[in-house]
Structure 1
Amino acid sequence: MLRRKFLLCAALFLFLFYGTAVPLWAQEAATTGIDLNAEAAVLMEAHGGKVLWAKNPDKELPMASVTKIMTLLLAVEAVEQGKASLEERVVASENAWEMGGSQIYLEPGEEFSLKEMLIAVAVGSANDASVAVAEHLMGSEEAFVEAMNRRVQEMGLKHTRFANCTGLPAKGHYTSAYDMAVILREALKYPLFRQLSSIYEYDLRGGKFKLWNTNKLLKWYQGVDAGKTGWTTEAKYCLASSAERDGLRLIAVVLGVPEPRGHFRESIKLYNYGFARYRAVNLLPAGAVVASLPVEKGVPPEVEVVTAERVAVVVPRGEERGFTTTYELPPRLKAPLAQHQAVGYCVVQKGGQEVHRVPLLAGREVKRASFLQQVNRVLNRVYGPGR
């Protein structure tokens, strides 16, 4: 009887702690043997967002200036959506001037283009420039922070909350390694973000003020082209970065590294692991034309269908063969259509199982034909052109 009770208790214990509810990536992370001092870390492949390695991925931690990835994301989206221009002037307020920590020493009333302010944020980690950008885009830092948190909710992230746009210590300001990897993955979709965060040095104020990128992996590790560092006494050393080699893009996030430059060494360990063990199978480039569909009552009467992004899957080395693509598309579309409107999916399969899907988009705008244009088309079909 005692033996039976012991076995039942043991079985219950194993179920609770090692049962099927444990995510696959967590099981993998427990057996990889990577030794990191970071409080939390994630290695993610950027193509599909799969986590390849993790340590405490959902632990809520301060992230210091890594915060500015979200600040830059909102600014880049505003430019992409036509709500802001890189050439427009940004005027520093007294509130921006009062920011401490890393800064470009803005004076109240001093002006820079939005592009130069964003370079100061991305390269110099300037807190004063971050606040100036936030106030310029949303009217106040408080309104900008509300937009940051709304964006987090839209992305479905559960372990991130922003209290400011700089990363300066504040109550209720935290993220997780997984959440920050997702935020960086979203930012990487914008070429402007990659352009800004890949700048290693920049001359401001006509060469009187030199900016050096705090992300030293831009020079120290082949393929690194984006990211943001962070440090405070509370957050310790943090880094969210991305590297690409042979078509494989990885995202590495390390939070709470205790020793100086440790966030670089820890990230390199993650990259070495990822590039050694995984490969990208690139099936179609971004913007590839996969079909041409008729558009009912459309001008023009048909439209090319293109891939929204590169169609690729990341697999362990040696498992690169056997992938196929199919297209989920209707036989025809209806006008009007906006350029880049989603119209279907490219589905990647292996062994009859779906492993990835990428949206398919209308390659151009298609307007609805006027009444006279529709009548003329009917007459042409009946009598032929020129009658």
Structure 2
Amino acid sequence: MIEKSARKKRKIVQRTIASLMLVNILGFSTVPAVSFATSHLVATAETTSTDETEATTTTNSKPDKVPSIDQLGLEVKSAVLLEPTTGQILLNIDADVALPPASMTKMMTEYIVAEQVKQGIISWDDVVTVRENAAKSVGSRIFLAEGDQHTVRELYIAMAVGSANDATVALAEYVAGSEAEFVTMMNETAKQMGMETAFFINSTGLSRADMPEKFRPQEDRETVMSAMDAALLVKHIVMDHPDFAEFTAIPSYKFRERDKDPIINYNWMLESNKDITNFKAYAYEGLDGMKTGHTSAAGYCFAGTAERDGMRLISVVMGTKSEGARFQETRKVLDYGFDNFEIKEVVPAQSTVEGFENIQVSKGKATEAAIVTDKPVSFMLPKGSSGANINFEATIDSNNLTAPVAKDTKVGTVTYSYTVEGMDSEQTVTVNLITADEVEKAGWFKLLMRAISQFFADLFESIKNLF
């Protein structure tokens, strides 16, 4: 710090002397000065415009640690735990393996229908007329007959709460004209979401053999989706449709006035079940979604999401052994997340990066511009951690900008990384480095004086080095 201050003082002295020399020279002639200045400016622009600078900082602190997931003793084919705002995976057990998802498939139908409403293409109050394919659907259903009419909202609740296959198919046909066309939408949406294993053959998750024969796809394939893809789908639901719980958290729903019993939500873990005798042992604080699934091929599956103290987690378990087991295993997974992690902003927006505080500016009123980060950076930290083990690597696209320079001009990037012992993957976030202020272009006279002053400063330095 002292050395840097001394260098700065030397430059001030040099430029002062150079300015005095300049005054004397200008008394005789300005022609040589103009010639020297022009040559110097061109050389600077050519030698700095393509430079690139990188730096990495590291720490020697002991890495933060969380308990191993092995101690959970999970009895699942696959499982994953995800925090949606950072996208961080907190637990992963064979989560990339494609498996039959059963009725968790309906989450994609829910997402697409909600998107159609959000975009104004359809309305919750639209009336849907039930067609043959929906009426012939088997498995979990509300016994719709061909020609029955119900609103989109009514059918959506029957799908989200009661996992009704007939209501699901009716919605798919209403949106796309046929279930086959809707399936095309499902697979296209999956690709857009980055779901790497998901493949859908219908809107419900039924096996091909259980679909009405007339409406089965010609290709002999089945619906598959990994736990990771299911978690990604839930992430899109909660982020794009934050009102999802208006449907998924309904504990029971009477579909028709004539129905003797209401539809009971298959999700036993809803927090609202804490006072229900049959379900209170499964009720989970903050849980408000998302979807169960079961077939003989899939076993018992559940994609759940809960929010506590402002942090939401998404859990998916697949291939458990019983209806109750899928909720017991989900409890283990969610407890692991809420007990051990918290989300923290570790770098605020508009922060400076050590060693990258400024960038040189040519032809500007100011000779440099301050640079800062454009966005905040948040990580999932073990509870109680200060985040002291976070490292960074910064890259500047060019060492020199040319005025005028607008505020918020991107000049590079900085990648923050954070490793926690006990987690499979390193957390990384990359943000842009941007200029904090505008730098206006300087007038020709100011540039001339600056160039001449710099010339004599350099000359003074060269003479000084001779002694």
TM above 0.5:
yes
Instruction: Give the structure 1 partner of residue 381 of structure 2.
Output: 315
1:166 pairs with one of 204, 208, 213: 204
1:182 pairs with one of 232, 235, 251: 232
Instruction: Give the structure 1 partner of residue 294 of structure 2.
Output: 231
Q: Is 1:78 matched up with 2:116?
A: yes
How far apart, in 1, do the equivalents of 2:76 and 2:67 lie? Answer: 14
Higher percent of residues as strand = 1
Q: CA deviation digits over 1:274-317, x for unaligned, max 9?
A: 11100122699xxxxxxxxxxxxxxxxxxxxxx99x98542211
Partner of 1:261, secondary structure, is helix
1:48 pairs with one of 61, 86, 93: 86
Compute the displacement of 1:33 (Å): 2.3
Compute the displacement of 1:187 (Å): 0.8
Q: CA deviation digits over 1:44-98, x for unaligned, max 9?
A: 1122111111111111110110111111011111111111111111111121000
Q: CA deviation digits over 1:330-361, x for unaligned, max 9?
A: 9589xxxxxxxxx9xxx99689xx954799xx
Gaps of 5+ in 1: 1-27, 285-306, 324-329, 334-342, 360-387
Contact 2:125 2:152 in 1 (8 A): yes
Residue pairs, 1:318-337, within 5 angstroms: 318-320=384-386, 331=406
Aligned residues: 301
Q: CA deviation digits over 1:94-142, x for unaligned, max 9?
A: 2100000011111111111111110010001000000000000000000
Partner of 1:112, secondary structure, is strand
Residue pairs, 1:1-387, within 5 angstroms: 32-170=70-208, 171-189=221-239, 190-206=241-257, 208=259, 209-219=261-271, 220-281=283-344, 313-320=379-386, 331=406, 355-356=428-429
RMSD across aligned positions (CA) = 3.7
How far apart, in 1, do the equivalents of 2:152 and 2:268 lie? Answer: 24
How far apart, in 1, do the equivalents of 2:112 and 2:377 lie? Answer: 26
Compute the displacement of 1:194 (Å): 2.8
Contact 2:346 2:387 in 1 (8 A): no
After the TM superposition, which segments of 4 or more aligned residues of structure 1 sit over 3 Å from their partners?
Answer: 28-32, 310-313, 320-323, 330-333, 347-351, 354-359
Compute the displacement of 1:35 (Å): 1.0
Compute the displacement of 1:321 (Å): 5.7
Gaps of 5+ in 2: 1-65, 209-220, 272-282, 348-373, 391-404, 419-426, 433-467
Contact 1:243 1:250 in 2 (8 A): yes
How far apart, in 2, do the equivalents of 1:59 and 1:52 lie? Answer: 17
Contact 1:42 1:51 in 2 (8 A): yes
How far apart, in 2, do the equivalents of 1:224 and 1:57 lie? Answer: 22
Over 3 Å counting, the alpha-carbon distance change for 1:213 and 1:355 in structure 2 is: same
How far apart, in 1, do the equivalents of 2:297 and 2:119 lie? Answer: 36
Over 3 Å counting, the alpha-carbon distance change for 1:31 and 1:198 in structure 2 is: closer
How far apart, in 2, do the equivalents of 1:177 and 1:72 lie? Answer: 18
Contact 2:417 2:429 in 1 (8 A): no
Partner of 1:43, secondary structure, is strand
How far apart, in 2, do the equivalents of 1:115 and 1:64 lie? Answer: 23
TM-score (norm 1): 0.69
How far apart, in 1, do the equivalents of 2:77 and 2:159 lie? Answer: 26
Residue identity matched to 2:302: L
Q: Identity over the aligned pairs, expressed in percent?
A: 36
Residue identity matched to 1:127: N
Residue identity matched to 2:381: V
Partner of 2:303, secondary structure, is strand
Over 3 Å counting, the alpha-carbon distance change for 1:357 and 1:88 in structure 2 is: farther
Compute the displacement of 1:193 (Å): 2.4
How far apart, in 2, do the equivalents of 1:331 and 1:207 lie? Answer: 67
How far apart, in 1, do the equivalents of 2:258 and 2:337 lie? Answer: 39
